Amino acid sequence: MPHQLEEELFPSTPGKIKRRTLQRCFTSTSTMFLWALFLIALTASYLAFLTNSNRYLYHEKMIRSSAEIRRSNGMSVLVTGAAGFVGSHVALALKKRGDGVVGIDNFNDYYDPSLKRSRRNLLEDNKIFIVEGDINDMRMLAKLFEVVKFTHVMHLAAQAGVRYAMENPNSYIHSNIAGLVTLLEQCKAAEPQPAIVWASSSSVYGLNEKVPFSEADRTDQPASLYAATKKAGEEITHTYNHIYGLSITGLRFFTVYGPWGRPDMAYFSFTKNILQGKPITVYRGKDRVDLARDFTYIDDIVKGCVASLDTAGKSTGTGGKKKGPAPYRIFNLGNTSPVTVPTLVNILEKNLKIKAKKNVIEMPGNGDVPFTHANISLAQRELGYNPTTDLPTGLKKFVKWYMSYYGFDHVKGSYVNS
């Protein structure tokens, strides 16, 4: 074949010269082909660079706009976990009163991400921009703090849930400990340092049997890995307050519920299963004692979060070094009126107009505790915190939202979009 090609291309040329000439042709063609590939790759890289640059400039513009303060003496707040249940409500409350708000969320799949994206759409409708990213990404956090000089951080990003820790323990370390430290490192280095309010949990009371739970009670007996990571968070934040002068307020939430809530919570999953005619599992404690929770409506929690931001003293560090003592506070945010789980089910049955199919079993050793009950006297005194929504009122609002969001038709007894 090579000799035939030589004769066709160079019929009157001696053999050696033919082959050399042909080799040069192939070499030249190969070189041109490689150059063409290089130019194509270079062009693609340049177009990608332009696309990414435009995207970055767009994001920076949106971040600056979202962070703009629109009231006198307002604050600029970074809300982590902004597409989450509590985070989205707090972000909206701050924005509506004129504070600058920028959110961050990684939209993980612990529960249906579409609910988180629906919350994001709600925030975007209110001019709140959410950066999609992980709080463990130090470079991203550094860029955010470079674009905006945040006065406050509302840290609500976390791996939630008590039972899930038995399936995926590493996710709790990643979010609740490593993520917290990464965020604190950025806040420590920021100029000026922001004041930090963050979500601890009533779970830190663990096996404590003294009720109601008070901030001064012992919290060294966690009953779950989730609780242990939140307790570790309290110790870590205390360290950063002590060494670096960060102003820090920890909030121990007690069973938050309401519209736009988390599908893994009992009231949410009960509602779904009751409507679908599926049985629900109701746990009992030892000696057939009903479990009880200090259910706290989302609007009351939001008021406590905002009051914590408003009363947070300034951080005192500069250049990563402490210049003086800074506030360190911990508050219970609860409703002070524990309700048993069977009572919760009864209220849902009345609102849904459907009788629940119940499987009542003894509580397994999965990290849950038999009861929670908040002493909120410190929050009342220091924050003016005063919860006003009882469980029947709050669940009625939740059910109304659930029916609207998921499109359940009571007449047909089915979901409209199913």
Q: How many CB atoms lie within 10 A of CB 298?
A: 22
From CA 192, how far away is CA 209, in angstroms rounded? 42
From CA 102, how far away is CA 79, in angstroms rounded? 6
**Residues 111, 164, 172, 226: which is the catalytic one?**
226
Which token pair is 222?
Answer: 């966690």
CB 102 within 8 A of CB 129: yes
Specify the pairing of strand 317-318 against strand 321-322.
Answer: antiparallel
- In this structure, the dihedral spanned by the alpha carbons of residues 219, 165, 196 and 192, taken in order and rounded to 10 degrees, is 130
From CA 114, how far away is CA 104, in angstroms rounded? 16
Which token pair is 79?
Answer: 């809300």
Backbone angles phi, psi at 280, to 5 degrees: -115, 150
CB 162 within 8 A of CB 276: no
Residue 402 Ramachandran class (φ > 0 left, ψ -120 to 50 alpha, else beta): alpha
Q: How many CB atoms lie within 10 A of CB 59?
A: 15
Quick check: is 226 catalytic? yes
**Residues whose CB is less than 8 angstroms from the CB of residue 211 and which lie 6 or more positions away in sequence, other chains included:** 371, 373
Q: Is the peptide bond between 14 and the residue preceding it cis, with omega within 30 degrees of 0?
A: no
Q: Is the peptide bond between 212 and the residue preceding it cis, with omega within 30 degrees of 0?
A: yes
Cite the active site residues: 226
